[in-house]
Amino acid sequence: MQALCLEKKQLILQDNMPIPEPLAGEALVRVHLAGICATDLELVKGYYPYTGILGHEFVGEIVQAPERIGERVVGEINAACGTCETCLRGQATHCERRTVLGIVNREGAFAEYLCLPLKNLIPVPASIPNEAAVFTEPLAAALEIQAQVTIRPTDQVLVVGAGRLGQLIAQTLVLTACQLQVVARHDKQRQLLAARQIAWINENSVKSRAFDVVIEATGSTGGFRLARQAVRPRGTIVLKSTYKGESSINFSALVVDEISLVGSRCGPFAPALRLLENRLVDPTLLIDDRFPLDKALDAFERVVQPGVLKVLLST
Is residue 54 situated within a structural domain? Answer: yes
Q: Are residues 14 and 65 in the same domain?
A: yes
Is residue 304 situated within a structural domain? Answer: yes
Is residue 276 situated within a structural domain? Answer: no
d(CA 25, CA 117): 6
The string of pLDDT tens digits covering residues 185-244 is 999 999 999 999 999 999 999 999 999 999 999 978 889 999 999 999 999 999 997 766
The per-residue pLDDT for 101 is 97
Is residue 129 situated within a structural domain? Answer: no
Is residue 269 situated within a structural domain? Answer: no
Residue 245: band (very low, low, confident or very high) from pLDDT cuts 50, 70, 90: low
Instruction: Provide mean pLDDT across the span 274-297.
Output: 97
The string of pLDDT tens digits covering residues 170-191 is 999 999 999 999 999 999 999 9
Instruction: Provide mean pLDDT across the span 164-175.
Output: 97
Is residue 137 situated within a structural domain? Answer: no
Residue 288: name the closest of 138, 131, 174, 168 by CA: 131
Q: Are residues 118 and 149 in the same domain?
A: no
| Coil/strand/helix, residue 228 | helix
How many separate helices (H) and strands (E) can be counted in the chain?
10, 19
**R_g over Cα of the chain:** 19
Backbone angles phi, psi at 186, to 5 degrees: -100, 150
CATH of residue 295's domain is: 3.90.180.10
The three state secondary structure string of 36-102 is ECHHHHHHHHCCCCCCEECCCEEEEEEEECCCCCCCEEEECCEECCCCCHHHHCCCHHHCCCCEEEC
Average pLDDT over the chain, rounded to whole? Answer: 95
Residue 94: band (very low, low, confident or very high) from pLDDT cuts 50, 70, 90: very high
Q: Are residues 17 and 111 in the same domain?
A: yes
The per-residue pLDDT for 244 is 60
Is residue 132 situated within a structural domain? Answer: no
Alpha-carbon torsion 106, 108, 114, 118, what sign? positive
110, 55 in Cβ contact below 8 A? yes
Range of the domain at 90: 3-123+282-314
58, 122 in Cβ contact below 8 A? no
Q: Are residues 159 and 245 in the same domain?
A: yes
Residue 99: name the closest of 79, 113, 83 by CA: 79
Q: Are residues 148 and 229 in the same domain?
A: yes
Q: Are residues 150 and 259 in the same domain?
A: yes
Instruction: Provide mean pLDDT across the span 100-118.
Output: 97
Asked if pLDDT for residue 38 goes beyond 80, the answer is: yes
- DSSP assignment of 149-194, as one string? S---TT-EEEEE--SHHHHHHHHHHGGGT-EEEEE--SHHHHHHHH
Q: Are residues 30 and 114 in the same domain?
A: yes
Q: Are residues 259 and 289 in the same domain?
A: no
Q: Are residues 106 and 164 in the same domain?
A: no
Q: Cα–Cα distances in Å, from 86 out to 91, 98, 118, 146, 228?
A: 5, 10, 20, 22, 31
Asked if pLDDT for residue 292 goes beyond 70, the answer is: yes
d(CA 177, CA 174): 5
Angle between the 164-173 and 136-148 helix axes, to the nearest 10 degrees? 50
CATH of residue 160's domain is: 3.40.50.720
The per-residue pLDDT for 243 is 62
Q: Are residues 250 and 287 in the same domain?
A: no
Asked if pLDDT for residue 107 goes beyond 70, the answer is: yes
Burial (CB count <10 Å: 0-12, 13-18, 19+), residue 25: middle
Q: Are residues 157 and 249 in the same domain?
A: yes
**End-to-end Cα separation, the chain, in angstroms:** 10
Alpha-carbon torsion 305, 244, 137, 227, what sign? negative
Instruction: Provide mean pLDDT across the span 253-275.
Output: 95
Instruction: Provide mean pLDDT across the span 89-103.
Output: 94
Number of domains observed in the structure of the chain: 2
Is residue 178 situated within a structural domain? Answer: yes
The string of pLDDT tens digits covering residues 126-160 is 999 999 999 999 999 999 999 999 999 999 999 99
The string of pLDDT tens digits covering residues 39-89 is 999 999 888 889 999 999 999 999 999 889 999 999 999 999 999 999 999
Q: Are residues 152 and 258 in the same domain?
A: yes
d(CA 65, CA 108): 18
